[in-house]
Structure 1
């Protein structure tokens, strides 16, 4: 099926962050769009308000459109393979494509910017979109989070540039053929898919780099450049802090925000760039976004203005409540490196406060693979609370629970609690910083935690 052949679209799992962006793309083109999701969420309600018909709960094969030559059915691997609606379309006369393949179909023939990496994809993709937009490049964009600078996770541009989050899970990014590709990091992850780190590098990230178009740009963090030797059909640039072809120099903190100068490959300095994003890891993400924008033709003033006015993304170090006594921060961190980055950012921003954290592990397989790393990261907290694993697409693995992480921690200030007990425990806090960490449904508990503290403020 070619993109021009698609006249109606049905999504199985429409409420996912990546799926909903594609649903919005087709809906914006005036096509009939419908779909299924397990539960109603703020995002699915927004899709319905935009005219997308969604049903919830159990499968209902009667609501799947009849087969047609112009019908595209899109599904996500988050849906179980035995889900009745998925079985119907995969065994019937339907054109069925994974979300990643549809993204490849949409981006084909466009100048694609693909942002890959085991950490920082969503922030860097959104920031790149903001900088390119301010620079007048007017990209389309498919974002993996809810940005504060745009109306939704799909941004409709009017150029042939498209910015996408290139996801390594299930080798999804191999559907893309970028003009400019960024690789932020290559830490071990998704070992349920790849088996081991070497295979992840070769059949994942190196394979992705090989798909950059002839003469295209490959921008990689300086310390992973060693993995991409021998890929000679691209122009390779590195980025980092203090080192790399594109690098942040003269970093300083002024008025609660980072300032830095951007050194470019020819030695030119773009001076006095400001970003309020927390943590030095976000300075690196900013350098990568600046590199893309400059290589795409964006000017110096655009990257200064874009970074200075960037308002961030939901669930990426998002301040949910801030008072004189207590600060509550929501962060999507679900890998040991991401936990360390979030905790370090909190320490840097609030050096005189007690830093506490609640962590909800995401996936049984990831918990099994990285229990020791999670334990080391959580030991950086002054106090840690672990709640049960969020399973997402997985069935339980015998013996794999949050207790694996708890048992590996050295800190004496750690607790293993149910969700309900955690709510009681966090309600008792009166000061410090509380980090709520994880990629599962912990965000659904945050309004309750915030409300408890707002009630205390109101009634004493």
Structure 2
């Protein structure tokens, strides 16, 4: 397919974070963009404000005459959309170009110099850092992000089309549609077992992804992963490694050893060793591309983060409120490490919303261990997303596994009342479901109380 011949782009599931970035991209490139989503959110409101038509009812009556020409219309859908969706089935039955988001991303990036970030954890933050570094070094780059960048207040960085920076998503094996020039793999922990069945199949998919790199391309891998490539790590003998770490006023200061030199006294403002690792691999890929070291150092220090990735909403001497997207036990461990490093003597309350029945079932014992670390735990009901309930898999079942005396099962209606009962100095909201919609209410309530 030649995207230059496409005049109309119709999105089914336009409110998804990856889908909305593509919608913005096509809109900026003068295509007529329309989309459906199940729910009105801040993301869909932002698209509407931009001038994109969005509707929230699945009905073929919403498909106007502009989209009746199958020769110049592209339909993009997310795998989260059920196969009973009437608009999707209309386009399929009429012979339109109908592609998954990942396939479209592959088409857009195939004629660019592509830098791809893969891994079960850290993709969004690493991609956001890398996009920011490339942009600040005046590289003609388009970066598709899986979150809203604090620097750009967008999930799309658009500074040219010669170079692309993308998340290589392992869900549904989507990343196998890409053919990057430079790629990294940050982690390969078991996840998405509803798709893969077991951890060995997931590992195989990452190995398959590594074979998609162009013949003269480079693969970066976190030290310790069972793959061959340029290695990176913290305080080890990797090809790229961080050393001499200090924390001053909540900022990391450190040196980076590269294969050719040492970059000294770099600054990075996101807490947590996992974020240091994300910064390191983004820096390594930018160095490999050829970005000047001095500009990279300045860009790294100016990076502000991604919304819902250890995002501060209240940060005072007596009270801290942080929101994070963590939805896997290893990600919760990383959040805990960051909180303990920054607030070693504070009492911490975690409010967690499990995401997916299948993930809760597959990793229940690991969730129990990670959640038990906090001083106090409030557990919300499981957010189902695309799934139907699994018999016996409930938040109450999970809570019974957590070895923590200060734990309670709560509904969203009870949440503010329960928060008032805590004596914690640091409050965390954690999860990938709709818990993010509660953040503004919690922030308002805590601000009034304090």
Q: Would the TM-score normalized by the shorter structure come out above 0.5? A: yes
Indicate whether 1:415 and 2:397 are aligned. no
Residue 93 of structure 1 aligns with which residue?
95
SS at match of 1:223: coil
Residue 106 of structure 2 aligns with which residue?
104
Q: CA deviation at 1:176?
A: 0.3
Answer yes or no: is the 8 Å Cα contact 1:114–1:164 preserved in 2.
yes
SS at match of 1:112: strand
Match of 1:281 among 236, 251, 274: 274
Residue 198 of structure 2 aligns with which residue?
196
Q: CA deviation at 1:151?
A: 4.3
Of stretches 251-260 and 169-178 in structure 1, the one that deviates more from structure 2 is 251-260
Indicate whether 1:217 and 2:218 are aligned. yes
SS at match of 2:442: helix
Residue 179 of structure 2 aligns with which residue?
177
Answer yes or no: is the 8 Å Cα contact 1:427–1:449 preserved in 2.
no
In 2, distance between residues paired with 1:200 and 1:80? 23
In 1, distance between residues paired with 2:253 and 2:246? 5
Instruction: Show the 5 A alignment for 1:247-262.
Output: 247-262=241-256
Indicate whether 1:371 and 2:370 are aligned. no
In 2, distance between residues paired with 1:159 and 1:66? 29
Residue 233 of structure 1 aligns with which residue?
none
In 1, distance between residues paired with 2:128 and 2:180? 17
SS at match of 1:144: strand
**Structure 2 length as normaliser, TM-score?**
0.97
Q: CA deviation at 1:67?
A: 4.0
Residue 78 of structure 2 aligns with which residue?
76
Q: CA deviation at 1:437?
A: 0.2
Answer yes or no: is the 8 Å Cα contact 1:137–1:159 preserved in 2.
no
Residue 245 of structure 1 aligns with which residue?
239
Indicate whether 1:384 and 2:384 are aligned. no
In 1, distance between residues paired with 2:357 and 2:329? 15
Q: Deviations over 1:239-259 (max 9, x none)?
A: 010121000011111222111
Of stretches 321-330 and 214-223 in structure 1, the one that deviates more from structure 2 is 321-330
**Matched length:** 446
Q: CA deviation at 1:423?
A: 2.3
Match of 2:425 among 429, 432, 438: 432
In 2, distance between residues paired with 1:34 and 1:154? 18
Q: Deviations over 1:403-440 (max 9, x none)?
A: 23212111111111111122210133354101100000
In 2, distance between residues paired with 1:132 and 1:120? 18
**Structure 1 length as normaliser, TM-score?**
0.95
Answer yes or no: is the 8 Å Cα contact 2:117–2:184 preserved in 1.
yes
In 2, distance between residues paired with 1:92 and 1:374? 46
In 2, distance between residues paired with 1:91 and 1:325? 60
Match of 2:314 among 318, 321, 327: 321
Instruction: Show the 5 A alignment for 1:221-232.
Output: 221-224=222-225, 226=226, 228-229=227-228
Answer yes or no: is the 8 Å Cα contact 2:250–2:271 preserved in 1.
no
CA RMSD, 1 decimal? 1.2
Q: Deviations over 1:25-64 (max 9, x none)?
A: 10001111001011211111111111100011x3111112
Residue 142 of structure 2 aligns with which residue?
140
Answer yes or no: is the 8 Å Cα contact 2:349–2:424 preserved in 1.
no
Answer yes or no: is the 8 Å Cα contact 1:325–1:430 preserved in 2.
no
Answer yes or no: is the 8 Å Cα contact 2:192–2:359 preserved in 1.
yes
In 2, distance between residues paired with 1:404 and 1:210? 41
